[in-house]
Chain A
Amino acid sequence: METLLSILIGFMIIGALYALHAKDLLSALIAQGIVGYGLVICFLNLRAPDLAIVQIVVETITLVVMVAVVLNSSRKEVKESWNRNKILNIVTSVIIVGFLVYIFAFMIQPLQPFGDHSMRMAQYYTQMGAESTGAANLVTGVLFDFRGYDTLGEATILFTAALGVVTILRSKPKKESAS
């Protein structure tokens, strides 16, 4: 399982690198689809069918919206040019990445090895989930019953984001009050 996942993530990394370096924005978007749908296959191998279904839907919507945005504007990649502060940029990036790697190496120590997870918190959910929620799908039970307030917060965030998109894309700006 670990080898299969590593190979899949390797493909995703290659797709991500191509997406970031493509000259044409449309091919960059298709290459980003490699990453998204590769994530779907990873979820299926990790025994998470609900996540796979949601990720397929979300990835397709994102891809369609992005293609619509690119077709309504320009497909050309902007010209890259080195600016004067090249050395400063490189030094800053190396410092940031080094910091991130240090934090990652520090935080990964207490994790159990892959595939060996002691369900401290979810023990109750798997044993009592069917009786207390009545849902055969434990993910649904956790999402809508044990952690219902999280889902409420998610709905709030979705509503706020939709409001934001409507506000930003409103074609006629409001007239300023006379001052």
Chain B
Amino acid sequence: MTVYIMCFILFLVGLYGVLTRRNMIKIVIGFSIMEFSCFLFLAMIGYIENGLAPILKEEMENPVYVDPLPQAMVLTAIVIGLATTALLLAIAIRIYKKYGTFDIRKVNELKG
């Protein structure tokens, strides 16, 4: 259970970053930390003690493999995480070009 709790603490650290930082790059970093902790949690659920990596081998008798299903889903999620991070960074650089700062407090003044 300890690892699950550590993983949750990592998620909370990312959430803290998203909530308290004023710099948009730091907010993107906080989002990716939250993503990482979710990936780690899902990969840990499928782990089996003394299990093998899910790649089939002929000569073994009654091998125990770790669960391949969460791994496949996390593989999908990692690539989607890359896409969302790229989109967030594109929005950040666009805002920087318009306002000249990464500070989110300066962005709330709407300009036409």
What is the number of contacts between chain A and chain B, taking CB atoms within 8 Å?
228
Residues of B contacting A42 in the complex (Cβ-Cβ under 8 angstroms): 40, 43
CB <8 Å contact, A35 and B33: yes
A interface residue count range (under 10 / 10 to 19 / 20 to 34 / 35 or more): 35 or more
Within 8 A of A (CB), among B36-77: 36, 39-40, 43-49, 51-56, 65-69, 71-76
Report B10 CB to chain A, min CB distance, Å.
5
Name the A residues within 8 Å of B32 (CB-CB): 32, 35-36, 62
Q: Which of A1-40 contact B (CB under 8 A)?
A: 1-2, 5-6, 9-10, 12-13, 16-17, 19-20, 25, 28-29, 32, 35-36, 39
Report whether B56 and A164 are in contact in the complex, using a CB–CB cutoff of 8 Å: no
* Contact yes or no, A158 B79, CB < 8 A: yes
Interfacial residues of chain A within 43-79, with CB under 8 A of chain B in the complex: 43, 46-51, 54-55, 58, 61-62, 65-66, 69-70, 72-74, 77-78
* B89-A65 in contact (CB<8A): yes
Main secondary structure of the interface of A (DSSP, over half): helix
Interface set, chain A 106-122, CB cutoff 8 A to B:
108, 111, 113-117, 119, 121-122
| With contact pairs A139-B75, A165-B87 given, residues A6 and B6 touching in the complex (Cβ less than 8 Å) | yes
**Nearest B residue to A32 by beta-carbon distance?**
B29
Enumerate chain A residues within 8 angstroms of B85, measured Cβ to Cβ.
62, 65
Q: Is the CB of B80 within 8 A of A29?
A: no
B55 touches A62 (CB 8 A): no
Q: How far is the CA of A28 from the CA of B85 in the complex (A)?
A: 16
User: Which range contains the number of B residues in contact with the other chain?
Assistant: 35 or more
Interface residues of A in 153-179 (CB under 8 A from B): 154, 157-158, 160-162, 164-165, 168-169
Known A154-B76, A161-B83: A13·B90 in contact at CB below 8 Å: no
Asked if residues B94 and A168 are in contact (CB atoms below 8 Å), the reply is yes
Contact B29 A164 (CB under 8 A): no
Residues in A whose Cβ lies below 8 Å from that of B51? 47
Which B residues are in CB contact (< 8 Å) with A132?
none
> Complex Cα distance A169/B72, Å?
32
A46 to B6, CA, bound (A): 16
Contact partners of B74 in chain A: CB under 8 A = 48, 51
- The minimal Cβ–Cβ distance linking B3 to chain A, given in whole angstroms, is 5
Residues of A with C-beta under 8 A to B65: 126, 138
Binary contact track A91-134/B, C-beta < 8 Å → 1, others 0 = 00100110011001000100101111101011001100110000
Cβ-defined contact, B40 with A39, below 8 A = yes
Beta-carbon contact of B103 and A115 below 8 Å: no
A58–B3 alpha-carbon span in the complex (Å): 24
